[in-house]
Copies of this chain bind each other. A is one copy, B any other.
Amino acid sequence: MSERLVIVGADATGMSAASQARRMRRAEDLEIVVFERGRFASYSACGIPYWVGGDVAERDELIARTPGEHRERDIDLRMRCEVVELDVEGRRVRVADLESGARYWQDYDDLVLATGAVPIRPDLPGIDADGVHGVQTLDDGQALLDTLERTEGRRAVVVGAGYIGVEMAEAMIKRGYRVTLVHRGTEPMSTLDPDMGALVATAMKGMGIELVCEAEVTGIRVGEDGRACGVMTESAEYPADVVILGIGVRPATELARAAGLPLGDSGGLRTDLAMRVRGHDNIWAGGDCVEVLELVSGRFRHIPLGTHANKHGQVIGAGIGGGYATFPGVVGTAVSKVCELEVARTGLREDEARAAGLQFVTVTIESTTRAGYYPGATPMTVKMIAERITGRLLGTQIVGREGAAKRVDIAAVALTARMTVEQMTALDLGYAPPFSPVWDPVLVAARKATAAVRNRR
């Protein structure tokens, strides 16, 4: 007898799970129904800033697979259909067809919640005005571009200086806007320690971005036409023809919450290692709507990233397909390109290590991406955090130019293997003059960190 798998959300986790389950179980054995409230499926949300900035010419380049392609593989993908209620007891979801207005119940044997995240919209005057945009879904990106199309002014204010805020500030500069970035912290790129963020600030100013730090937004000024025309802080007002929110996102778990499913402190769903919602054998969840185990501090955290979402989908699909796979957790790796700079982090920042109850040493070194004498060698900065006494690597941050950021993967693997910085000094990393000084910058940092650990024992 055929079973039915229902998936809520048709982006990275949802469609990876659908595809993987379909590879393992034929249509006669497993019916797969996917509900997506938006107009797009299987797209790269991470690519939106590059589409807005013009590096990617066409929206459709961000779409990995069209709804039609999914349907050809016996996946019943229903676009513009929102799941509005979850009946755990009855094993069914209530669906609202946003086009026709129809509503209906859909039974399931297995359910996957892949509802993603939504941009945080602080409760401020004017926040819902026209011209205030979050950038999370492809629909969001399209809405922003539609606004830009019909807006004459060329002043953009970006609120928030995490990855999205910083990437969007650059994208708007590339579109020819005057850009002001308003944020709370002392330095932009809040995913880094402030000393590393300061390097990013310099690059952003060099690109012409106006940085307003340590500023709390108090409201959005709305013009007589009902459109946003400025961003207000406690001490100033910044005129804006468009406002972009880059404050962060929160898990989209209203449905799960209403159904009584277990949520963590961040509001994300809690799952086991096979990505089953805790206490529910036939409900799975993954992607931006779950919390993941962050392995360095041993805490569950909300770390929305496309690469995790894809892995979750793979694991869920394998489980539903009758196989076995697990997602052991993350170490907090993230990379980004900001103006000329490459920026990377993995593991814990100083404040995160402190919050986890860890004592640590930090070192920062300057080196180059290639051998100093090789054409194109550019400076790069590596910061390394190691546990006191044990010397275990806790985190690494990198700011530099071409070839700098992906070196963070070395530290990401070392964190996964729980290596000490001293063990790292002996790592057999690739060396040739076009790629690295004879001591790779990561090794230089590990050596200095080793000395610091020894001195603090």
Residues of A within 8 A of B (CB): 12, 44, 46-47, 50, 55-56, 61-62, 163, 305-308, 310-311, 314, 326-337, 342, 344, 346, 371-375, 403, 405-410, 412-414, 416-417, 419, 423, 425-436, 438-440, 447
Contacts and interface: CB of A to CB of B under 8 A. Distances in A.
Nearest to A426: B328
- Identical chains in the assembly: 2
Given A12-B438, A374-B56, A375-B55, A46 B333 contact: no
A371 B47 contact: yes
Q: 4 tightest CB-CB pairs across the interface, nearest first? A: A417-B417, A335-B430, A307-B431, A413-B413
B405 A439 contact: no
A273 to B, nearest CB: 10
B328 A432 contact: no
A37 to B, nearest CB: 22
Nearest to A430: B335
14 contacts: A46-B431, A47-B373, A61-B372, A307-B429, A333-B431, A337-B432, A337-B435, A406-B430, A406-B436, A412-B427, A414-B417, A416-B417, A416-B419, A416-B427
Contacts of A425: 311
B433 A46 contact: yes
B12 A374 contact: no
Given A407-B406, A409-B409, A431-B305, A426 B335 contact: no
A310 B305 CA distance: 38
Contacts of A326: 426
A405 B435 contact: yes
B335 A432 contact: yes
Given A373-B44, A409-B409, A311 B436 contact: no
Contacts of A417: 413-414, 416-417, 419
Nearest to A398: B430
Contacts of A56: 373-375
Nearest to A56: B373
A430 B373 contact: no
A413 B409 CA distance: 9
Given A50-B374, A409-B407, A438 B337 contact: no
A410 B331 CA distance: 14
Given A406-B407, A409-B410, A410-B409, A374 B47 contact: yes
B307 A426 contact: no
A334 B424 CA distance: 17
B332 A439 contact: no
A410 to B, nearest CB: 5
Contacts of A431: 46, 305-307, 333-335
A92 to B, nearest CB: 32
Contacts of A416: 417, 419, 423, 427-428
B413 A430 contact: no
Contact of A50 (B163, B336, B419, B433): B433
A334 B430 contact: yes
A346 B413 CA distance: 15
A373 B344 CA distance: 21
Given A50-B373, A336-B432, A416-B423, 12 more contacts: A44-B433, A46-B371, A46-B438, A47-B373, A307-B439, A307-B440, A332-B428, A334-B432, A406-B435, A409-B410, A409-B427, A409-B430
B430 A62 contact: no
A284 B372 CA distance: 29
A336 B374 CA distance: 13
A330 B433 CA distance: 19
| Most B C-beta atoms less than 10 A away, residue of A310, A311, A419 | A311
A433 B305 CA distance: 12
Given A417-B419, A419-B417, A346 B432 contact: no
Contacts of A307: 428-429, 431, 438-440
A438 B306 contact: yes
